[in-house]
Amino acid sequence: MLRKLLSLIARGEVSSLADAAESLGVGADAVRPMIDQLVSLGYLETAGSPRGARSSCSGGCGGCGKSGSCAACRPGANGIAWLITEKGRALSDSAAPAP
């Protein structure tokens, strides 16, 4: 299920815990530990959160050039964006179905 969640995030299909929970068919409370695990394994980083590794959004959205178009600005995202790392992108790409 972690790979599926990573793939959904990589494709931009989910931007909140509620989106992810709905897509995975689980409760939002089940998604948070999965996100935390993907972060701890180095597949994701979070931006906009004090917990985020190398957070580039620590100053908030106000002065950001991507304000309004970033995943952290989407309704329900609560100012948190999940960023796929190179390691996460490689895993996500390897899990993608062949065209």
Q: What is the pLDDT of residue 55?
A: 44
At 4, give phi and psi (nearest 5°). Answer: -65, -45
Query: What domain range is 87 assigned to?
Result: 2-95
Residue 83 sits in a domain whose CATH number is 1.10.10
CA dist 99 and 97 (Å) reads: 6
pTM of the model: 0.67
Residue 85: pLDDT band (50, 70, 90) is confident
Number of structural domains, the chain?
Answer: 1
- The Cα 95–Cα 73 span in angstroms is 28
In this predicted structure, what is the pLDDT of residue 80? Answer: 62
- Packing angle of the helix pair 2-10, 17-24 (nearest 10 deg): 120
pLDDT digits (tens, 9 = 90+) for 30-49: 999 999 999 999 998 877 54
